[in-house]
């Protein structure tokens, strides 16, 4: 049976995709066949004769030569970069849970491990009837929390961890990602989270605009995800 994780973040723009790509690279370095997935993506750019999401393309690249096709990685691609349920409504579409689960099953059966990146934060609505948390619960995967190190991250991280555990999921670990190079007392914030999150710190990513995820993979300890 394929193993995997669901990668969520403390907010939008905290580096989930960078962290997910680095995770994919780190797991591949252990000899695992890894399938990335971003089930829902809002925001597309022209690509060839179609459209693609830049985060999706980054995940495909991280997965290497046997990566799934972009449309397998992201079965629901929305054109406009906004809240997914709003973007879907503007296109006359409704995101449904079961097709997303089917798409994940098709990927998981062919790989050793799946890295599923959520969209936005843990409670972002995906449709009138469900949100990103419901998707995570339905997938049943342990959660990796990406904490964007900036003012307010303590509250955001602790609230997200509380929500993860309240719905019965396991917080398998967290990644501290430096997104504000001017943040004061970043080390003290990381120490406070290490005391309170009650989950392994998988790694700490430095402020590195345009970084190659392969260069960051060595900063991550994936062993807590494989136990």
DSSP 74: -
Residue 79: Cβ-neighbour burial (10 angstroms; 0-12, 13-18, 19+): middle
Cα–Cα dist 19/203, whole Å: 9
Cα–Cα dist 78/91, whole Å: 8
Closest CA to 149 of 208, 189, 120, 198: 189
| 38 in active site | yes
Q: Which of 16, 38, 104, 111 is catalytic?
A: 38
Residues serving a catalytic function are 38
């Amino acid at each position: 049976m394929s193993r995997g994780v669901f990668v969520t973040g403390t907010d939008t723009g905290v580096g989930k995709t960078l962290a997910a790509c680095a995770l994919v690279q780190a797991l591949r370095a252990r000899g695992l066949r890894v399938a990335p997935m971003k089930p829902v993506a809002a925001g597309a750019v022209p690509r060839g004769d179609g459209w693609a999401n830049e985060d999706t393309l980054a995940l495909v690249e991280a997965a290497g030569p046997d990566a799934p096709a972009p449309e397998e990685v992201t079965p629901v691609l929305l054109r406009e970069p906004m809240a997914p349920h709003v973007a879907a409504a503007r296109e006359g579409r409704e995101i449904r849970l079961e097709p997303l689960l089917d798409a994940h099953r098709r990927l998981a059966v062919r790989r050793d491990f799946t890295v599923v990146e959520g969209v936005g934060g843990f409670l972002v609505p995906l449709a009138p009837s469900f949100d990103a948390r419901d998707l995570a619960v339905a997938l049943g995967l342990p959660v990796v929390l990406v904490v964007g190190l900036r003012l307010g991250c303590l509250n955001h991280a602790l609230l997200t961890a509380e929500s993860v555990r309240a719905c019965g999921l396991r917080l398998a670990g967290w990644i501290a990602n430096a997104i504000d190079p001017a943040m004061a007392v970043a080390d003290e914030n990381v120490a406070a989270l290490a005391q309170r999150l009650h989950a392994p710190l998988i790694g700490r990513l430095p402020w590195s605009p345009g970084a190659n995820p392969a260069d960051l993979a060595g900063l991550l300890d994936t062993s807590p995800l494989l136990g």
